Amino acid sequence: MRSRHLTPALFALLVIAGCGAEGANTPAEQPKPVDGPRPQGAYAAESAKADNAPRPLVAGTALTLRFADGRLTANAGCNTIGGAVDLSGGTLQASDLSATEMACDVPRHEQDQWLSGLLGAKPVWKLEGDRLTLTSADAEVVLTSVKPATLEGHKWTVDTLVAGESVSSTPDVTQASLTFDGGKVAIETGCNSGSAAYTVNGNVLKFEPPLLTKMACAEGPSAVESAVVAALTDKTEFTIDESTLSLTSGGEGLHLKLAGS
| Tens-digit pLDDT string for the chain (261 aa) | 455 555 544 444 444 444 444 444 444 566 666 667 899 999 999 999 999 999 999 987 889 999 999 999 999 988 889 999 999 999 999 998 888 887 888 999 999 999 999 999 999 999 999 999 999 999 999 999 988 889 999 999 998 888 876 666 666 677 899 999 999 999 999 999 999 999 999 999 999 999 999 999 998 899 999 999 999 999 999 998 878 899 999 888 999 988 866
Shared-domain flag, residues 96 and 162 = no
Q: What local confidence, expressed as pLDDT, does residue 13 receive?
A: 45
For the beta carbon of residue 60, count every other beta carbon within 10 angstroms. 8
**Domain match, 134 and 25 both:** yes
**What global pTM score does this model have?**
0.58
Does one domain contain both 25 and 129? yes
Q: How many domains does the chain have?
A: 2
DSSP state of 189: -
What pLDDT does residue 2 have? 53
Q: Are residues 58 and 166 in the same domain?
A: no
Cβ neighbours for 39, distance < 8 A, ≥ 6 positions apart: 65, 67, 87, 125, 127, 132
218 and 245 part of one domain: yes
Q: What is the C-alpha separation between 55 and 25, in angstroms, rounded?
A: 13
Mark whether 74 and 160 lie in a shared domain.
no
pLDDT for 137: 95
Whether residues 21 and 122 share a domain: the answer is yes
| Statement to judge: residues 77 and 204 lie in one domain | no
Q: Compute the distance between CA of residue 234 and CA of residue 165 in angstroms, rounded to an integer.
A: 22
Q: Domain limits at 186?
A: 155-258
Count of residues making up the chain: 261
Nearest to 135 by CA among 68, 61, 51, 59: 51
Q: Are residues 92 and 195 in the same domain?
A: no
First to last CA, the chain: 21
Same-domain pairing of 10 and 135 = yes
What lies within 8 Å, CB to CB, of 203 at 6+ separation is: 237, 238, 239
Please identify, among 118, 146, 174, the residue that sits at the C-terminal boundary of a domain: 146
Whether 168 and 242 map to the same domain: the answer is yes
Indicate the residue among 95, 111, 146 that finishes a domain. 146
**Rounded Cα gap, residues 42 and 39, in angstroms:** 9
Q: CA-based angle 233:244:229, to the nearest 5? A: 25
Please tell me the predicted confidence (pLDDT) of residue 190: 93
Which one of 146, 166, 197 terminates a domain?
146
Identify the CATH number of the domain in which residue 183 sits: 2.40.128.270
**Residues 14, 142: one domain?**
yes
